Structure 1
């Protein structure tokens, strides 16, 4: 028997009352929750992009994916990169553009790392979803693509695409046997379904899966992209924050938009005064909050402050007494609650700014990398603090 003779099953027909539109209902966010629930949402979800045009950064990737959709030639996709860079938001915004807000539930299957994605789930749930086909589904023509273009727009000409979409988030957590079972399903049901595999580390995926997907690497977001959304949230949520504190927030986020918004919301909550339990509720517009400063940001992130790092580096460079150097570092660690791993990371960023001989820089960076590996592997901080002093002082002696 040929593959054509093994016909696919069909789903229940789509209701005729549904209006296929690429634009979600006005006045509602992606979560489609009541107003009270939306107001209590974390800012990460409240400001999650709804349309492709809302996604921060990665303009080349967005342009390429949009061309795939416009020509109705969407391949299997692989999004990989650090967390908080917009991988999940991009594919969900793409799904809304293809199917419309109302048809996401029946046309998109999203499985996250919190779901069971063993070989049984791949063979049953994923295979069943991929092998069934909608009766009233049409390939998206130029008119529909134009209607959904720009991440939204009017949906009068928009129709369902001729394929379903299966999103496997955190796919690098799938077992090897599940990945092996998935590769044949991707080939067999390509005419009916497209897969989007999302992972933090591509090397943890099977080479067979990698070869079946078009890869897109989501690099850490640039500071201007993060700053644009942070400024928008500050304005809409009436956050009182100093410009220097906002700069520190963007810098400490290290390309992670999720981290930036979570820290901003935590600092905003900490700046709100506590009300007595039996006191009447104060209206939101009447609450007087403290101004968020740079110190507030650093305390929330628990990152070493620049002045503390500069003091440690100056002491290590100018003081030949190892005991004095150790005392300075240990005192700052205790008084400011610093972790050695954070100190090593911050020191490496300051060291590379110094103008020294190449052999000195190599000695410093190699030694700091070794210390960071030992600390991450469970090495004692007391011993590794001494090693930190030794690494910097050895470099100073090489300077002559």
Structure 2
């Protein structure tokens, strides 16, 4: 697959007007374009919600056709040390902007991967080259960015995208790629995305390689994700005291979809709120799910943790019957 066929790039917003789901942030960014000036910016939020798209679209709106001459995108996760600040960033920041631009823009993506020393060096660079350069810093967790950098930036916090936002992009791609997405296929894409537009687009592209008529079955099969109802059925079996049946259902899901332990725990968490359980039971189960998730992250046996989780559902189901 060539780069032009990667839909996440093909349908990346060209201007700020194309950005979906971040209306308040786009409105504020447009005011910078109108004024022709820009402070240092810090974009914080989960992946796939438009941070990079906004940065690139802002540069295009700000500089026009000359945007590539005055904009550079660096990914801090590629080079995490102080040398990337001393060499790549400093060399670009110290040169004058080209054309009629008043300043250059450095977009530093995944900046929360930078070491503390690199962030300290970056702080000094931001201070020294303000006359010729502006920084847009993007991260998933703003708490990992040192306070001196945060205080130098206007902070924008991006939220997860809603179902309507995902639907808007799916319909745009559906028209552009001449495919058909069924209503249940759209619901499946929204479920798979969980607020991440990149994940939704990748799921749609993967499904479209199988068939031009994208349905829920195709989406779940290509993304190796169990249907929500299948997870709910497994939990209901456990709550009804049928632990071995729930365990067999788990085996079926693992074989059919190739799910990992983390995948199962994530889907259990999403599905349990549709079971109509009492709030006290939900609190206990959420606490247990959090513990299982932590243990899996630390490298515990996936099968044991997921089956232990089902055992807790069985015990709570029996307690509710008494």
- In the superposition, the TM-score normalised over structure 2's length comes to 0.91
Q: Distance in 2 between the 1:263 and 1:63 partners?
A: 29
In the other structure, the counterpart of 1:106 is 69
Partner Cα distance (1:372, 1:135) in 2: 50
Please, which moves more after superposition, 307-316 or 84-93? 307-316
Partners in 2 of 1:385 and 1:93 — Cα distance?
43
Post-superposition offset of 1:55: 0.5
Aligned to 1:309: 231
Query: 1:364 offset after TM fit, Å?
Result: 1.0
Question: Of residues 290, 295, 301 in structure 2, which corresponds to 1:374?
Answer: 295
Q: Equivalent residues in 2 for 1:263-342 (5 A)? A: 263-271=203-211, 291-319=213-241, 321-342=242-263
**Is the 2:265–2:306 Cα contact (8 Å) retained in structure 1?**
no
Compared CA separation, residues 231 and 315, structure 1 to 2 (3 A): same
Distance 1:263 1:322, change over 3 A: closer
Match of 1:75 among 30, 39, 42: 39
Give how far 1:39 is off. Answer: 8.9
Aligned residue among 95, 98, 101 for 2:59: 95
| Higher-Rg member (1/2) | 1
Q: Which residue of the partner structure matches residue 185 of structure 2?
A: 245
Q: Is the 8 A contact 1:131 1:189 kept in 2?
A: yes
Are the equivalent residues in 1 in contact too, given 2:221–2:257 (CA < 8 A)?
A: no
The whole-number CA distance in structure 1 between the counterparts of 2:76 and 2:132 is: 24
Matched, 1:184 2:106: no
Q: CA RMSD in A?
A: 2.3
5 Å-filtered alignment, 1:208-219, equals: 208-219=148-159
Give the unaligned 5+ runs of structure 2.
Answer: none
Distance change (3 Å), C-alpha of 1:39 and 1:397? closer
**SS of residue in 2 equivalent to 1:180:** helix
Give the structure 1 partner of residue 113 of structure 2.
173
Asked if the contact 2:123/2:148 (under 8 Å) is kept, the reply is yes
Question: Given that residues 363 and 391 in structure 1 are in contact (C-alpha distance below 8 angstroms), is that contact kept between their aligned partners in structure 2?
Answer: no
Distance (whole Å) between structure 2 residues aligned to residue 364 and residue 392 of structure 1: 7
CA deviation map 1:292-348 (0-9, x unaligned):
2211100111111123112202211212x5444333333443344343332322222
- Given the superposition, is the C-alpha separation of residues 59 and 162 from structure 1 closer, same or farther in structure 2, using an over 3 Å criterion? same
Separation in structure 1 between the aligned mates of residue 180 and residue 64 of structure 2, nearest angstrom: 37
Are residues 1:364 and 2:288 paired? no
Deviation of the 1:248 alpha carbon: 0.9
Return closer, same or farther for 1:170/1:252 CA change in 2, 3 Å cut-off. same
Contact kept, 8 Å, 2:42 with 2:155, in 1: the verdict is: yes
CA distance in 2, matches of 1:228, 1:387: 40
Task: Mark the CA change 1:38 to 1:349 in structure 2 (over 3 Å): closer, same or farther.
Answer: closer
Equivalent in 369, 383, 390 of residue 311 of structure 2: 390
SS in 1 for 2:171: helix
**For the residues of structure 2 that align with 1:39 and 1:127, how far apart are their CA atoms?**
30
With over 3 angstroms needed to count, the CA separation of the structure-2 counterparts of 1:384 and 1:117, relative to structure 1, is closer
Residue-by-residue CA offset, 1:18-54 (whole Å, 9 max, x unaligned): xxxxxxxxxxxxxxxxxxx999431111111111000
User: In 1, are the aligned partners of 2:232 and 2:275 still within 8 Å (CA)?
Assistant: no
Residue 153 of structure 1 corresponds to which residue in structure 2?
Answer: none
TM value normalised by structure 1: 0.74
CA distance in 2, matches of 1:237, 1:97: 26
Q: Which of the residues 124, 137, 145 maps onto 2:87?
A: 124
- Segments of structure 1 that go 5 or more residues without pairing to the other structure are 1-36, 138-160, 272-289
Equivalent-residue separation in structure 2 for 1:382 and 1:309 (angstroms): 16
Residue of structure 2 in register with 1:49 after alignment: 13
Which residue of the partner structure matches residue 272 of structure 2? 351
